[in-house]
Amino acid sequence: MIPLDQFDFRGGLTADGFRAFMVHCYRHNVSDIHLQSGGPLIVDHHGRKIVTSQFRLEHATLVRLIDEVYSPNVKASVMGGKGYDGPLQLEGDSNGRYGLKRGERVRFRSNFVQATIGSLSTAMAVTSRIIPTTIPPLDGFGLPDELYHSLLPQDGIGLVCGPTGSGKSTLLAATCQHYGKTHPDGKLVTNEDPVEYPLGGPDWLLQPQQCEVGRDIPSFSEGIRLAMRQAMDVICVGEIRDLLTLVAALACAQSGHLALSTLHAFSPGHAFSRSYLMAPVDAREQTAYDLLDTLRYVVVQRLLPTTDGRRQAVREYVLFDEALRMHLTAQPYTRWPAMINATLLERKTRIADQAWQLFVEGRIDALVAQDVIGWAEFNRLTGGPPER
């Protein structure tokens, strides 16, 4: 396999050549491809940005690539100041088109915006997330036993949280695929934006129904409503990002179904507060109690760059049992987020605690550890600031 930064562009930056480059990135486990008018081709590889071209991408060339690889509709939307989100799927054939074998597929989730970049006041910026086609088995994630056996409760809400690029979707997809192995006669429905991992296989009696927002359903909230009329057992929602989706997920859980979703949050307590703060002020207390009644777990995950050039997943999680619920309801709901996080501090199971241990073991460097733990806390633990 040729090195990541030595793709052959000598034939010029054609549409097919760029598609082949995207497949090349997929083969090298790249997570994101970044394109900017006037800049080189840059990719994220194990959490680090790498320049993969010796030339700069002229604005006119980038616009042409967007037209030819994606659609002319993208340009119109972006230049109109609306931005654009859309999927791209590349398929191989018997001739090995783009470097893909016949029947082999690679999917990308792309975002397009117009921005001021350097000296260009109306430049284009494209970020394409590579969506792996193979779902890692759940037992390969290194999850603690109590978390591993708690990801698929009979009902309620399970949340997988973390920043963009933290592997939330991968863990959620692995959980859904595991459901097919452990509940072969169950029915699972997903609402995604866009559809990422293809679920299903011989373990499933009834194959999963994967719906894409904008193509199959108008929104996450409406997708949940429709799924509840489909006699499903589990629904996986790509992201809870607004009140309508949250309310629909709560109704789903309260009716005896299991709803799994992601949320952008940096701690279990933050996930809880961010959820109930979606509601109007006069409805927040009831929303908080509904959440407390239906939440089964919150997992927060981050991927840390390691000293061997790869990445290590670290997680903190809270399982909501009756003892925790009784502990929380003894205090006002506005204190619950801090109390939830306090359980992690007491057990020394925070992401910060794990990052410190990785630093002690030499698996992450000082700057990564400082970013996770915080400058003041890291200095306290080490007895001085890290060298730069």
Give the strands of the sheet with 48-51, arranged side by side.
48-51, 42-45, 30-36, 120-131, 105-117, 84-91
pLDDT of residue 380: 92
Rg (the chain; Cα; Å): 22
Distance (Å, whole) CA 255 – CA 273: 23
What's residue 388's pLDDT? 58
What pLDDT does residue 12 have?
80
Rounded Cα distance, 356 and 365, in Å: 10
Say how far apart CA 304 and CA 286 lie, in whole Å: 37
Bridge partners (DSSP) listed for residue 289: none
pLDDT of 259: 97
Sketch out the chain's domains with CATH numbers. Answer: 4-131 (3.30.450.90), 138-349 (3.40.50.300)
DSSP characters over 96-148: -GGG--BT-EEEEEEEEEEEEETTEEEEEEEEEEEE-SSPPPGGGS---HHHH
The pLDDT assigned to 1 comes to 56
Residue appearing with tokens 């806390």: 377
d(CA 33, CA 50): 10
For residue 124, count CB atoms less than 10 angstroms from its CB and return exposed for 0-12, middle for 13-18, buried for 19 or more: buried
**pLDDT for 296:** 98
The tokens for 328 are 């929380």
What is the structure's pLDDT at 323?
96
Give pLDDT, residue 387: 60
Give, for all 388 residues of the chain, the pLDDT tens digit: 567 777 888 778 899 999 999 999 999 989 999 999 999 999 999 888 999 988 999 999 999 999 999 988 898 999 899 999 888 989 888 888 888 988 888 989 899 999 999 989 999 999 999 987 789 999 999 999 999 999 999 999 999 999 988 889 999 999 999 999 999 999 999 999 888 888 999 989 999 999 999 889 999 999 999 999 999 999 999 999 999 999 999 999 999 999 999 999 999 999 999 999 999 999 999 999 999 999 999 999 999 999 998 899 999 999 999 999 999 999 999 999 999 999 999 999 999 999 999 999 999 999 999 999 999 999 999 987 656 5
Q: Report the pLDDT value the prediction gives residue 386, as an integer from 0 to 100.
A: 55
